[in-house]
Amino acid sequence: MSTTPTRTPARAPSLGRPPLLLLVPGSVGAALLVVPLVALVLDTPWSDLGAQLADPAVRDALWLSGLTSALTVVLCVLLGTPLAWLLARVEFPGRRLLRGLVAVPLVLPPVVAGVALVAALGRNGLLGGPLHDVTGWTIPYTTTAVVLAHTFVSLPFFVLSVEGALRTAALPGVLAGCVLAWARSLGEFGATITFAGNFPGTTQTMPSLIYTTLQADPAAARTLSMLLLVVSIGVLVGLRRRWLVPS
């Protein structure tokens, strides 16, 4: 009677000791990323958190941030999924150029993104001008402008995530793309304040409120910043298998 030998699981190779030449700058880089976050946690007046959340301006900003980020995800799914499919599965002239253009907002300074949106959709813009002439409707400085600004900066995250997923497993990539787009939308500031302004109840999102609050009450701004930090950490934990687990 033959027996099948038991296989022992392979051990991961030892990573070894880091050389001093890499350890010192690597430690400095880690400190540069970690220390500001720790300082924010330690310097936040936690006892004021309840009062901050009870402030009508904070509640309005939270509501608007939640609403616009949710609408951004909807637009990313409706517009980004077909675009990702084309980039992943269809060969057509200019495909590489289109993929490059889709990625541009990833590296574009946010304020430049806002200026570009004004040039395209402003009252005298390339598309906004004819829209105003025909309908009398202007987009900038409205809640619609917030959603469009968020979509402009979030859509590349969604498209590139879904495009890669369509080559392997689609559903996890779509879900990851939705989370990335939502998180990017929630933290967007530069393009939003340039294109939509900072009007309480209409276009003032949490990042805009934090910026305004910082001018008058830095302690309150740190408390509000902690809310977005917690959300950011939650997103990272949710995507830990995608970013934190080595393959």
- pLDDT (tens digit per residue) in 21-59: 888 888 999 999 899 989 988 988 888 888 888 889 989
Return d(Cα 25, Cα 43) in angstroms, integer.
Answer: 27
Please determine, for residue 173, whether its predicted confidence score (pLDDT) is greater than 90. Answer: no
The residue with greater pLDDT, 220 or 149, is: 149
Burial of 19: CB neighbours in 10 Å, binned 0-12, 13-18, 19+:
exposed
What is the model's pLDDT at position 17? Answer: 72
The residue with greater pLDDT, 8 or 74, is: 74
In this structure, of 51-55, 60-64, 187-191, 231-235, the range with the lowest mean pLDDT score is 231-235
Q: Which secondary-structure segment (H or E) carries 86?
A: helix 81-89
Domain ranges of the chain: 53-242
CATH number of 53-242: 1.10.3720.10
Return d(Cα 194, Cα 114) in angstroms, integer.
Answer: 5
Please determine, for residue 247, whether its predicted confidence score (pLDDT) is greater than 60. Answer: no
The pLDDT tens digits of the residues spanning 93-145 come to 999 999 999 999 988 899 999 999 999 999 999 999 999 999 999 999 999 99
Please determine, for residue 243, whether its predicted confidence score (pLDDT) is greater than 80. Answer: no
Residues 223-239 have a mean pLDDT of 81
In this structure, of 11-15, 189-193, 218-222, the range with the lowest mean pLDDT score is 11-15
- Which long-range contacts (C-beta less than 8 Å, at least 24 apart) are formed by 208-215? 208/61, 209/57, 209/58, 209/61
What is the model's pLDDT at position 123? Answer: 92
What is the model's pLDDT at position 179? Answer: 86
Burial of 208: CB neighbours in 10 Å, binned 0-12, 13-18, 19+:
buried
CB-hemisphere CA count at 13 Å for 191? 28
Residues 158-163 have a mean pLDDT of 91
Q: Give the pair of three-digit tokens for residue 39.
A: 């300082």
